[in-house]
Amino acid sequence: MEVKMNKFPVFTKASNSLLKESLTQEIFEKLKILKTKNRFTLEKAIKSGVENQDSSIGIYAGDEETYSVFSPLLDEIILKYHGFEKSGKHIRNFEANDLEILDVEMTSERIISSRIRVGRNLKGFPLGTIISKKDREKVEVKISKVLKKLEGEFKGNYYSLNNITEEAKEMLINDHFLFKEGDRFLKSAGLNREWPDNRGIFHNKDKTFLVWINEEDQLRIISMQKGGNIKEVFSRLARALKILEEKLEFIFDDHLGYITSCPTNLGTAMRASVHIKLYHLKEKKLEFEKIADKYNVQIRGINGEHSESNEKIYDISNKRRLGITEVQGVQDMYDGVVAMIKKDEELGD
């Protein structure tokens, strides 16, 4: 069998990705000749991490089978990131009443907005890293048809990036809805191919429910609103997902939960976050990072991963996704935000 990648990849001393940490010569030799049914290889899986030595993870999946064919490597990375053993079973919970939240703690003027998103991919299709243009078109048509038929609080409009008008484009930019071509990490993984073909955005009339089609995952389903009423945001997402799951079949594994392109999103595939003003985070970064570690949350700039903060506004979100329920993920974010607000208030405005 011809093997294109026949040499162990070179990692710089500065590289500290989980790929570098987990990929041994033994694992490499074992996996380099394997392929999934969609002809996804180890070389394709680790291409982004090899080309971008500053990656924190360094590996992407091409299909559902990636997680079994390349399990000697991916199980190790998943364990290190999620702390989740292979024998574990993923359990769902979208019951908002199970959240232990005091609404008064989320009324702080520091909290600008709240959002919860989940990633989903359709059963029967490869993931975005290797999906063909023809299949990507089928995915867009299939999902957009369902979205266009939504009623009630979810009724809205779909905007294809292929033929969006300048007026609609300006509106989506002003609302901060328009997603852009992925960064160099996603580009190396193959997720930017044929951009912007067969990508699009749906949102309801109240602009509290949003779906991205064929960005990093085939669906990014988002519930959002101004302020800090995270329970309301979570409840809306749960209602939307119940409707969509009646019309669309998503890739789900009893162990890994919802299958996604990046292994960090496995499990709930959920990211619950708030945009919040923290006046002292920059000069007291280590103190806030200790809080983040304690409550399993991440601190980012408001323009997403790898971005800096603007005007002392930060994005705080749950880090854990696999081995916990959706309720636990939202609870992590809530507990972390409450602790950070308290710390910021102690330091003085």
Active centre residues (catalytic) = 117, 216, 220, 262, 264, 271, 300, 305
Crossing angle between the packed helical segments 285-295 and 326-347, to the nearest 10 degrees: 150
Q: Which residues contact 286 (CB under 8 A, 6 or more apart)?
A: none
As a whole number of angstroms, the longest Cα–Cα distance in the chain is 65
| Cβ-contact 75, 83 below 8 angstroms | no
- Spatial separation of the C-alpha atoms in residues 210 and 126, rounded to whole Å: 23
- Spatial separation of the C-alpha atoms in residues 141 and 163, rounded to whole Å: 14
Give the bridge partners for 156, in sequence order.
204
Q: Which own/partner pairs from 72-79 qualify as long-range (CB within 8 Å, at least 24 positions apart)?
A: 72/27, 72/30, 72/31, 73/19, 73/22, 73/23, 73/27, 73/31, 73/42, 74/263, 76/22, 77/18, 77/19, 77/22, 77/263, 78/256, 78/263, 78/266, 78/322
At residue 158, φ and ψ (nearest 5 deg) are -110, 135
| Cβ-contact 321, 266 below 8 angstroms | yes
> One-letter amino acid identity for 295?
Y
- Spatial separation of the C-alpha atoms in residues 129 and 185, rounded to whole Å: 11
Ramachandran class of 143: left when φ > 0, alpha when ψ lies in -120 to 50, beta otherwise: alpha
| Cβ-contact 143, 122 below 8 angstroms | yes
Ramachandran class of 252: left when φ > 0, alpha when ψ lies in -120 to 50, beta otherwise: beta
